Amino acid sequence: MLTQVLERGRSLTAALAPYSSPLHTSPDSAAPAATNASPNNGSGSASDSTGDSFASPRNNSQDKAAGAQLTARDLPLLQELCFGVLRTLPRLDALIALLLQRPLKARDQDLRCLLRVGLYQLDALAMPDHAAVAATVGASAVLDKAWARGLLNATLRRFLRERDALCEHVAQDETATTLFPPWLLARLRRAWPDDWQQVVAASNTRAPMFLRVNPLRIEREAYRAQLTATGIAATAIADCPHGLQLHTPIPVSQLPGFRDGLVSVQDAGAQRAAPLLKLLPGQRVLDACAAPGNKTAHQQELSDNRLELLALDQDPSRVQSLTANLARLKLRADIRQADATAPRGDWAEQRYDRILLDAPCSVTGVIRRHPDIKWLRRDADIAALADTQTRLLEALWPLLAPQGVLLYVTCSLLPEENEQQIAAFLTRHDDAHEDPIAADWGLARSHGRQLLPREDGSDGFFFARLVKE
């Protein structure tokens, strides 16, 4: 699976999809997908046979076959291994470089992934050493590389013998200690000279689980009472009237009333967006990049389900998730598959009182939920993403009615995608002015407001509110 993610450029959400079901969706995988630009708690143990099956799928049919063997007990461990390895990848690779006498051949990179999984179990998880070694060595047969059993066994046992010296050596490597690629670390240092270390630390943690209670169905305190009655502890989020933070993340299948639309999983930072639109029932609203639909749903929840809401997304599979999300919450919207950079058709002839542009971005504010982003993104992607954001702003601005409000949102930490994007837009449009966001959360920037990821708090988001003259 790690081979799929790292060598084929797949998002971890997509790679885990064959093994997942709505009943077992984790708090992390419920987060925004990597293309809008998905880490988890794991516990328990896996037998050698099931653990081997998950480490080795190499095509869709094998994915499905392995997925069929998956049990509810195994999924948390599968997720922990995938997300944990991707969080700590440079440390694991630095250890492998010290442990192997010769680099692995290009055709044996699947063995490198297997070593990563084995080392992660020994280095980061409280699993018995003999079990981790045996499972890793046994997986070589699933890869049709039983010849590598001796290599895997010797490498992992050397790690156990020389652990302290190896870890001390790796501690001198900045990439291996920060767990960030150099290009992204350099950008964060420039952008946040006083905060980059906190940003990096928070991005390397497991994310908290936040809920948004549907006020059209139940009051927040009443829902928290339901959680308490089922043994789930939660705390109300300050300044998020419908937000709760669970003390311990759990599968959504354990949330009372989830299937009936009482509640959604949504980061506390993302819950800031909809209120900033200053919505009123009856307004015509365009949600331009709407999938998977959490912010879309929140708008209708705040407006008594009475907005004339058009929700767009370009990706057919994401349109399906958007449709399912709104149906579960019993909220209405005109949902369409469309490219918001090129408005055409009847919807493009309308003028909207509110536009939400939740723009595609580097997703650098939600890395703890998408650790694969650190290794799938490239430095050159930032300029391309900024260009897409510019084209979206230019395409959507003519659709905004006079005195209308456009809310620009990213889950990026990079100024090129945030305040610099808004500054450039304002220089190009005399009919636009910024409506500053006055709040006691986040950081005021030259334009807009930035939330930085916090270890026990929300993810990183940027918000800017524009008004048309």
- Positions annotated as catalytic residues are 411
Tell me how far apart the alpha carbons of residues 184 and 178 are, in angstroms, rounded to a whole number: 11
Residue whose C-alpha is closest to residue 276's, from 357, 208, 347: 357
* Inter-CA distances, 11 with 82, 94, 125, 298, 342, Å: 11, 23, 24, 26, 26
| Pure H helices in 124-172 | 129-142, 149-161, 163-170
Tell me how far apart the alpha carbons of residues 441 and 231 are, in angstroms, rounded to a whole number: 31
Residue whose C-alpha is closest to residue 148's, from 244, 56, 258, 24: 56
Tell me how far apart the alpha carbons of residues 118 and 68 are, in angstroms, rounded to a whole number: 23
Find residue 235's DSSP bridge partners: 245
Q: Residue 251's CB: how many other CB atoms inside 10 A? A: 20
Instruction: Give residue 214's identity as a one-letter amino acid code.
Output: N
Residue 107 buriedness (CB in 10 A; 0-12 / 13-18 / 19+)? exposed
Q: Are 448 and 276 in contact (CB under 8 A)?
A: no
Tell me how far apart the alpha carbons of residues 135 and 120 are, in angstroms, rounded to a whole number: 12
